Structures are given as C-alpha cells and as structure tokens.
Amino acid sequence: MPFSLEEKTALLALKGVGPTVLTRLEQLGINSLEVLGKSDVGDILAQASAAVGSTCWKNSPQARAAITAAVALARATKPPMPTTRSGTILSGEHTGWTITIQDDTTGETGGYYLYLADDQFNGFDAWFEAREPLEREISELEVRWD
C-alpha cells in the first residue's frame, strides 16, 4: 500500500522530494510516515543505490538532503490515532478495561464515538465531533490496540 494522500502531500512539499523519491521509497517497502520515521537515512540511500544498480543515490548530496528531510518530517509527525479500533487500557484508573473508537466522520453523525467498559460492561461513552478533542481525551491513556 502506498503513502496516503496526506503523507504524499506533506512529503512533496519538502525541497528535493518529488514523485521519483516517493516511488523509490515505496519500492523499498517504506510506504508510510510511521515506517519512514523508523528508517535510517544511510540505509535508505544504500538500498536505493542497490535497487537502481548505481551509486547516484548514495553519493548525491541532493538525494541525502531529500531523504534526510523526509525522515525528519516523519519523525516529527505524530502517528495517526487509531479509529474504528478496540484495545485494552494498560494502566491507570481503568486498567484492563476495553476501549473502542468508532469513526463515523463520513456517516450520518459525522464524528467519533468513544466507549470504555470493564468485563461486566460497566462503563461510559462519549461523542466527539472532531478528532482533536478525542485525541486529547485519550492521549494520557496507555493502550494496547488489537
């Protein structure tokens, strides 16, 4: 799966990063900012050079600058919050509870539903019209997503 449209737009806004760079990253199996942020610039350049059978990627200051900028962007970008997912709360007042987030931004209600419940189905729910308030609500929870 290739980079998302949002990720492509952000990467293409960087100096030196064009469609060829994105294609090469995807050919190397780097297809998200999350994966890119965990990558090493030198390794990417070496793999790209090997893939094309030339040292141009490895020895080019422009290629190094573009990949360095792309990796820096990826590391500075917060990973997307999981939506329409469930997980288990690992610490705090609700340790062991199930957390479920349902994304209905394209549906009738146009927002996000959050539900927390223990194994007896005691719990509470909340509705968020936008992603940012939901992220604030769950930002301090330690969750293992399923």
Task: Domain ranges for the chain, please list them.
Answer: 5-76, 85-145
Among 80, 60, 68, which residue's Cα sits nearest to residue 132?
80
For 131, other C-beta atoms within 10 Å of its C-beta total 15
Residue indicated by tokens 């005691």: 122
Angstrom distance (rounded) from CA 48 to CA 55 = 9
> Whole-angstrom Cα distance, residue 104 to residue 11?
28
Return the SS3 of 34: helix
Helices (H) and strands (E) in the chain, counts: 7, 5
Q: What is the pLDDT of residue 29?
A: 94
pLDDT of residue 6: 87
Does residue 89 contact residue 143 with C-beta atoms inside 8 Å? yes
In this structure, are strands 98-103 and 85-89 parallel, antiparallel, or unpaired?
antiparallel
Q: What angle do CA 132, 138, 140 make, to 5 degrees?
A: 115
In degrees, rounded to 5, the angle at the alpha carbon of residue 21 between the alpha carbons of residues 56 and 41 is 70
pLDDT tens, the chain, 146 aa long: 688 888 999 999 999 999 999 999 999 999 998 899 989 999 999 999 999 999 989 999 999 999 999 999 999 886 666 668 899 999 988 999 999 998 877 667 778 889 999 988 889 899 888 888 888 888 888 989 88
Bridge partners of 116, per DSSP, are: 99, 124
Q: What pLDDT does residue 34 have? A: 84
> Residue 65 has what pLDDT?
96
Backbone angles phi, psi at 61, to 5 degrees: -65, -35
